[in-house]
């Protein structure tokens, strides 16, 4: 049995990724009077705010100086924070609350590994703070996803080795980060996009503890 469970936040616990892209769209419209195409949303999932902004600016072929870049990041976070005020426990994705309860009953330690600097606020809005023994965020690591740093920090926060952890992600960058951290990766979403995951579920409501345990044991035996 694994000893730790590491969770991404956006798209795994709650679908706050849609708020991120709404904030990016408003930011670009307000500052540059341009529209962001929907295909850019996937490129901004799971990565840091700075990396997301750089990808958006590169796509739009816009160059800004360092001061403007910082101002845009701050403005985007203000838009996003306003949207977060509407969050309630009803925004928890299907099956997640039950999984957290089951993990807690099994004495599995839980940690959050999120690119969001607003993670503590989001957990509080969702009334899930008490489930997590540790929160690792980008302020505590050198590199964001797809580097393994944040998952290593999350595992360290609960004093469990990565090989004894199962980690849940919905982004390509996140799965790459988990695999590099040498934890067991559980992907949630498209099988094409997340093919590198050790175990894949199409949606959170399909998460199955028995299947996760069996697959993890087989994976651990193969190390």
Annotated binding site for Mg(2+): 8, 10, 169-170
Long-range contacts, stretch 32-36, CB < 8 angstroms, 24+ apart: 32/60, 32/62, 34/60
Give the chain's end-to-end CA distance (angstroms, integer): 15
Q: Specify binding-site residues for substrate.
A: 8-10, 24, 52, 76, 114-118, 145
Closest-CA residue to 77 (of 10, 146, 19): 19
Annotation marks residue 8 as catalytic? yes
Q: Are 194 and 31 in contact (CB under 8 A)?
A: no
Dihedrals phi, psi of 193, to nearest 5 degrees: -70, -35
Q: Are 136 and 126 in contact (CB under 8 A)?
A: no
| CA separation, residue 201 to residues 40, 59, 128, 195 (Å) | 23, 31, 22, 11
Q: Specify binding-site residues.
A: 8-10, 24, 52, 76, 114-118, 145, 169-170
Going across the sheet that includes 109-113, the strands are 134-136, 109-113, 4-7, 165-169, 184-188, 199-201
Q: Are 115 and 145 in contact (CB under 8 A)?
A: yes
Q: Are 92 and 207 in contact (CB under 8 A)?
A: no
Closest-CA residue to 212 (of 191, 194, 193, 197): 197
Q: Which one of 8, 137, 149, 198 is the catalytic residue? A: 8
Catalytic sites, residue numbers: 8, 10
């Amino acid at each position: 049995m694994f000893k730790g469970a590491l969770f991404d936040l956006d798209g795994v616990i709650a679908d706050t990724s849609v708020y991120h892209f709404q904030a990016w769209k408003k930011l670009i419209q307000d500052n540059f009077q341009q529209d962001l195409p929907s295909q850019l949303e996937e490129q901004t999932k799971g990565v840091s705010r700075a990396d997301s902004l750089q990808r958006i600016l590169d796509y739009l072929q816009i160059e800004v100086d360092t001061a403007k870049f910082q101002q845009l990041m701050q403005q985007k976070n203000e838009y996003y924070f306003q949207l977060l005020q509407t969050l309630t426990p009803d925004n928890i994705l299907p099956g997640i609350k039950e999984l957290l309860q089951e993990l807690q009953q099994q004495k599995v330690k839980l940690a959050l590994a999120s690119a969001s600097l607003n993670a503590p606020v989001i957990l509080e809005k969702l009334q899930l703070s008490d489930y997590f023994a540790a929160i690792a965020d980008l302020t505590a690591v050198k590199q964001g996803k797809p580097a393994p740093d944040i998952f290593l920090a999350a595992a360290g926060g609960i004093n469990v080795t990565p090989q004894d952890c199962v980690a849940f992600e919905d982004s390509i960058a996140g799965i790459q980060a988990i695999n590099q951290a040498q934890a067991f990766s559980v992907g949630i979403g498209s099988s094409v996009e997340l093919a590198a995951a050790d175990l894949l579920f199409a949606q959170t409501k399909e998460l199955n503890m028995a299947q996760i345990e069996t697959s993890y044991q087989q994976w651990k035996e193969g190390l």
